[in-house]
Amino acid sequence: MSNEMSRMKFFCDDHRCIECFACSVACAEAHELPTGISRRKVITLFDGIEGKEVSTSIACMHCTDAPCEQVCPVDCFYIREDGIVLHDKEKCIGCGYCLYACPFGAPQFPRDGAFGAKGAMDKCTMCAGGPLETNSEKERHLYGQNRIAEGKVPMCAAVCSTNALLVGDAESVSTIYRKRVAGRGKGA
């Protein structure tokens, strides 16, 4: 496994998130997600309470020692060198175990299997596609865009107008955030 600090991570700076839903909508559009699937979601706590209201954007956190990967009965997860947690939808049976293990409620299930059963699991890929040939039609269809392969930033972070949503290796993300906190003079 690669060095902890060089793993790709998301971080949402809740001092900046203005609850505009751009990340969530851009993600759904970019990857042409089926209805009912929302890889990234904006959640607001203490809605309307002045001084307390806070919003943040959540998706798969691409965990170190990912619990989803540990429980999958068909072993369809793989963790890239850079720490991005991906899975093979053609192997996945849609059992739901990864959802039970996930601390962030990231895995979701379209009802597209036989008899209305849960279909293959879907979650954020950090715009890194899947195990199929990079940028192939099939990869795009099953996993959405592979922006990482094209050297682009994940869609959600690219459209974040306040730059609340940060993505990159853990080292750079925490450097940026530390600078911000120093600048604001408050809030860690």
Nearer to ligand SF4, 30 or 58 (CB): 58
Q: What is each CA distance from 133 to 3, 119, 127, 139, in whole angstroms?
A: 27, 22, 14, 7
Q: Is 71 in the site for ligand HEM (CB under 6 A)?
A: no
Q: Which of other proteins, ligand HEM, ligand SF4, none does 87 bind, CB closer than 5 to 8 A by kind? A: ligand SF4
Nearest to 42 by CA among 62, 16, 22: 22
Among 25, 33, 95, 153, binds ligand HEM (CB under 6 A): 95
Which amino acid, residue 175?
T
Distance separating alpha carbons of residues 68 and 103, to the nearest angstrom: 9
Q: What is each CA distance from 163 to 22, 62, 75, 105, in whole angstroms?
A: 11, 20, 35, 24
Q: Which of ligand HEM, other proteins, ligand SF4, none does 60 bind, CB closer than 5 to 8 A by kind? A: ligand SF4
Contacts with ligand SF4 by CB under 6 A lie at 60-63, 66-68, 71-74, 76, 85, 87, 92-98, 102, 104, 106-107, 121, 123
The total of other beta-carbon atoms located within 10 Å of residue 74's CB is: 12
Distance separating alpha carbons of residues 135 and 98, to the nearest angstrom: 26
CB of 76 vs ligand SF4, minimal distance in Å: 5
Nearer to ligand HEM, 86 or 99 (CB): 99
Distance separating alpha carbons of residues 83 and 66, to the nearest angstrom: 10
Binding residues for ligand HEM, total number by CB under 6 A: 3
Nearer to other proteins, 32 or 90 (CB): 90
Nearer to ligand HEM, 74 or 149 (CB): 74
- Contacts with ligand HEM by CB under 6 A lie at 95-96, 117
